[in-house]
Amino acid sequence: MFSDETLDPVTVRTRWRRSQQEPLQTRSSQTEAVHRGHAGVQTRSTTSSWTQTEPQEPSPDLLHQNPAEPDPPGLLDFLQRTEDLVLRELQKTSRSHAFHGFQADWDQHRQRVLCVHRLQRPAAQDQVLHVSSVSWTCTGSVLVCAYGRTDDGDWTNHKSCVCLWNLDRRNLNPKQPDLVLDVPTAVTSVCCHPKSPALIAGGLYSGEVLVWDTSRTQDLVLGQTGMSAEGHREPVYQVSWVPLQRKGDFGVLSSSSGGRVLLWTLDLDQTRLVLDSAYAFVPQQVPHSSRTSTRVRGSSTVGVTALALSPWDPDTFLVGSEGGLLLRCSFSSQTPAAVPPEDRTVVLRAPAVFSFRPSSGPVHSIHCSPFHRNLFASAGTEGLVQVHSLLQTDPVLSIRASDSYLFQVQWSPSRPLVLAAATGHGPVHIFDLARRSLRPAATVEEGGANVASTCLAFNHQNPRLLAVGRSDGSVGVWQLSSELVDPGPTESGELEQIANQVSE
């Protein structure tokens, strides 16, 4: 079934070994040669120049005297005779105060006042509107100007405006304000917020009080009193921002010829001003002394025409009246005002606590000194700038500023002894109480005849700038010299001496 069989062998040659035994060749390639280059540059020439005065031979006359030569005849005798006299005069000069506090100004002589801007609102001038009030924002760059009337007459039906100029703007147009706030009646007073540059308080001839917010794009009226029964019924003469008990909050204090001083707070939810406190001035409740008279003819109230806040005492404010009364008042007074009962949510209080010697006419302006807690200045129809002390009835100093009336008086924010007064016949006089003479140290005068200076305001951020509003509808911005701005080393002491004077 099975048998052996032998087959021929089969041979399979490997190709790998064969391929390894074949001859090998080597090949290579190379790119063309790359050419490189290096270049540099350097300046090699320099230039040097100089100048020198020609050598000068010293003059023999300027050389020291030869010690070997004798002294000029009579020199030694003269020195011996005058030695005691010269020493006495030097000692007397060292004790003298004739030039005490004097600072020489070696700079080139400049004008004491220089007009740098003259702002106008042609539309307001066409309506024959006066500049009734000016105020600087807390940044010192924007000037706010209110337009109204400062003469007699019923102008409640005449539209007015509040204009704002940014003096730091590069392309300032003096005849085109940066912002115009249209108002339905004459504006009597404006006051910028002491902390927020966008807030402006204003008083109107109609008795309304408004607050504008210029940071808004629409409806700039942040709050207003409206014609409420508890508001003013007479023209508002002045508005001021007052710090409230809550830190950082401010209210608006307004005064009117109706004998009321009202404190308003902002209600942002309802966009209105809410009455917080109310004060009334009644003749029989005005304090008086043997040297003052508080008789007001033909009126049951004391019309408030001027208002000032004390920067030293938050409870103290001062008012001036149409009848010439000058009163120190207290916000914390709890005495009810003797007025007929009315349907009011806020009780009227009588704030007057002290009466100064009255003037013979209306008091137009009061301003407290920023450098002394007891001094303030007042001005009115008498033409006198009177410096008062809160501790005395009579003024400690009276300055005849004008034969006409005065619209406003204000202390300098940088020099304790300098104040400015706006006169009804045109000029603004700047007085320096450090001088022996009470004549004006400088006068701001612009415009033609019968153009009154109706208002003024120092710039607290830049004391060199003084804004002056005029009855022709223009506003001048004046730059004061360093003599009127930089305080001397003894001014505070001299102001203290004025405050300590006893009136005769």
* The residue type at 215: S
CATH code (residue 205)? 2.130.10.10
Is residue 8 domain-resident?
A: no
Identify whether 55 is part of a domain: no
Three-state DSSP at 133 gives strand
Measure the CA–CA gap between 354 and 334, rounded to whole angstroms. Answer: 15
Helix ranges (H only) for 247-333 are none
Side chain identity at 289, as an amino acid letter? S
How far is 202 from 222, CA to CA, in rounded Å? 12
Whether 143 and 167 have beta carbons less than 8 Å apart is answered as yes
Q: Does residue 83 fall inside a structural domain?
A: no
User: What per-residue confidence (pLDDT) applies to 63?
Assistant: 47
* CA pair distance 411, 377, nearest whole angstrom: 8
CA dist., res. 336 & res. 451, Å (int): 44
Q: Is 320 exposed, middle or buried (0-12, 13-18, 19+ CB in 10 A)?
A: buried
Residue 269 has a pLDDT of 78
- Closest to 373 measured CA to CA, from 285, 314, 428: 314
The reply to whether 4 falls in a domain is no
CA 469 remoteness from chain centre: 15
Q: Is the C-alpha dihedral spanning 445, 446, 448, 454 positive or negative?
A: negative
From 333, 220, 345, 229, select the one nearest 271 (Cα to Cα): 220
| Structural domain contains residue 82 | no
pLDDT at 227: 74
Number of C-alpha atoms within 13 angstroms, CB side, residue 241?
A: 20
Q: How far apart are CA 363 and CA 357, in angstroms?
A: 12
Task: Confirm whether 66 is domain-assigned.
Answer: no
Nearest to 354 by CA among 381, 388, 399: 388
Could you give the CA distance from residue 461 to residue 467 in angstroms, rounded to a whole number?
A: 13
Which tens digit of pLDDT belongs to each residue from 356-376? 999 989 999 999 999 999 999
Inside any domain, residue 346? yes
- Find, among 473, 447, 471, 380, the residue nearest to 151 by Cα: 471
Rounded CA separation 318/296 (Å) = 18
For 393, counting Cβ atoms within 10 Å of its Cβ (0-12 exposed, 13-18 middle, 19+ buried), the class is: middle
Residue 304: in which H helix or E strand, if any?
strand 304-309
Q: How far apart are the first and last CA of the chain?
A: 169
| Domain annotation covers residue 432 | yes
Q: Whole-angstrom Cα distance, residue 430 to residue 410? A: 10
Sheet of 453-458: strand order equals: 113-120, 474-480, 465-470, 453-458
For residue 89, what are its two tokens? 């005069």
Instruction: Give the whole-angstrom CA distance, residue 245 versus residue 247.
Output: 6
In angstroms, the Cα distances linking 393 to 231, 351, 359, 387 are 32, 18, 12, 11
Model confidence, pTM: 0.76
- Which stretches in the chain have pLDDT values below 50? 62-63, 106-109, 155, 294, 296-298
Write out pLDDT tens, residues 200-211.
999 999 899 999
Specify the number of domains making up the chain: 1
Rg (CA), the chain: 41
Helix (DSSP H) and strand (DSSP E) numbers for the chain: 4, 29
**Domain, as residue range, for 141:** 113-499
